[in-house]
Structure 1
Amino acid sequence: MQLTWHGHSTWHVTVGDTDLLIDPFFDNPKTDLEAADLDTPDYVLLTHGHADHIADAGAFSEATLVATPELVSYCQEEFGFEDAVGGMGMNIGGTVECGDAFVTMHRADHTNGIMTAYDVDAGMPGGFVISDTEPMRGETEDATTFYHAGDTGLMSEMIDVVASFLKPDAAALPIGDHFTMGPWQAAIATDWLDVDYAFPMHYDTFPPIEQDPEEFAQLVDDAGSDAEVHVLEADEPFDLGP
């Protein structure tokens, strides 16, 4: 599995021969890329419908969209995703097979309204657990699993559900505060999730969420977690297992 952070909450995940793009938003100061610089992935995954997570979704309308049914319907209308192949509506707790990947949606503590000329309820905001093995099938120690937490606050389901049953090896966690949890809550989340690797995201994009990611790394250590914190450079791939 290969992970590439493109700034903010935008991630490119490759599992086998399958490419997934999460929350495409390239108007952020971390990346040097524009949406047009990327090849169309096989799947676009959207955690929720806020503009800083779906702004560039339309550039990849030939991909299959994975999101809540409400958000899929909105993006089909607004961005031209094809009805036949362009929408895979799913919901909290569900797992769908996306090529070589298995994608499980888990809730996030956040909001999900889309403020346009008419207000849109895009359903429950979420995060995604992406694995090369179907959850709870086979030997979990042989799986490689990545958790994109979405925009969220600290929540007990991270230890009770995600860590206990989905068992991620690595987690991308928002640290920006103000709109999501900040560094110290994200450090607790890292400890609760019992991951080997933690990646800060959703920070430094605009003034209210400016943070020092090295502070997050120190707080993870202070929390007693054994996780390695990697403060990634945008657009540089990171290999996570086979």
Structure 2
Amino acid sequence: MKITYFGHSVILVEHGQDSIIIDPFINGNPHTNVKVENIKVNYIYVTHGHGDHLGDTVELAKRNDATVIAPVELATWISWQGVKVVPMHIGGEKEFSFGKLKLVEAIHGSSIVDEENKQIINVGPPSGVLLKIAGKTIYHAGDTALYRGMKTLGEYEKIDLA
């Protein structure tokens, strides 16, 4: 397994034939020099709808014919952009070709700001995620405030990387 950190909240996890990127905020991310066209993935996970996490999800999914995994409301909005999605909800766990993915609670907002129409679109709850790949567990907290549930996660899950 190979894990690459691209700054801010962006991580790429590669294992075997699979690769999943979490929160692909590439364009406009001052902490990375990677280009969207150079990223090859077959899965994308988005923790919530804010631009610095949703980022380049739609472009990246279309370029790679990748499947986007996200909380239900956000996944629905992303599907309206012409992208394949797997909607999930907090507490849900699903098996994928790379391993298991489980959504966990996060304390934050989750909306898309439509500047042109001066609208804020609520896209459901934010999330963190547990990735269980090759016998290891990776916890990506998304954009959460510190909360007691994080301690509980650590008590119930053997987290190898957070």
Question: Same-fold call, TM > 0.5?
Answer: yes
Greater Rg, structure 1 or structure 2?
Answer: 1
Measure the CA separation in 2 of the matches of 1:66 and 1:166: 21
- Are 1:115 and 2:113 counterparts? yes
Structure 2 unpaired stretches of 5+: none
Report what 2:92 is aligned to.
94
Aligned to 1:67: 70
Counterparts of 2:45 and 2:143 in 1: how far apart (Å)? Answer: 14
CA RMSD of aligned residues (A): 1.4
Greater share of residues in helix: 1
Aligned to 2:45: 45
User: What does residue 2 of structure 1 align with?
Assistant: 2
Which structure features the higher share of strand residues?
2
Aligned to 1:32: 33
Q: Which residue of 2 aligns with 1:145?
A: 137
What's the offset of the Cα at 1:166?
2.2
The gaps in structure 1 that reach 5 residues or longer are 134-142, 172-242
Q: How many residues align?
A: 155
Give the CA deviation at 1:38: 1.2
Q: Which portions of structure 1, spanning 4 or more consecutive aligned residues, are displaced by more than 6 angstroms?
A: none
Separation in 2, partners of 1:57, 1:113: 15
Give the share of equivalent positions with the same residue, in percent: 33
Task: Give the C-alpha shift of residue 15 in structure 1.
Answer: 3.0
Distance in 2, matches of 1:44 and 1:7, equals 16
Please report how far the alpha carbon of residue 155 of structure 1 lies from its aligned counterpart in structure 2 after TM superposition.
Answer: 0.7
In structure 2, distance between residues paired with 1:99 and 1:2? 16
* Equivalent residue number for residue 155 of structure 2: 164
Letter in 2 for 1:53: H
Question: SS state of the match for residue 120, structure 1?
Answer: strand
CA distance in 2, matches of 1:156, 1:17: 36
Per-residue deviation, residues 186-216 of structure 1 (Å, max 9, x unmatched):
xxxxxxxxxxxxxxxxxxxxxxxxxxxxxxx
- Give CA deviations for 1:104-163 in whole Å, capped at 9, x if unaligned: 110111011222234322111011110126xxxxxxxxx211111100111111111x11
> 1: CA distance between counterparts of 2:96 and 2:9?
20
Q: TM-score, normalised by structure 1?
A: 0.61
Equivalent residue runs for 1:7-18 within 5 Å: 7-18=7-18
1:79-228 equivalent positions in 2, closer than 5 A: 80-81=82-83, 86-116=84-114, 117=117, 118-132=119-133, 143-160=135-152, 162-171=153-162
1:77 paired residue number:
80
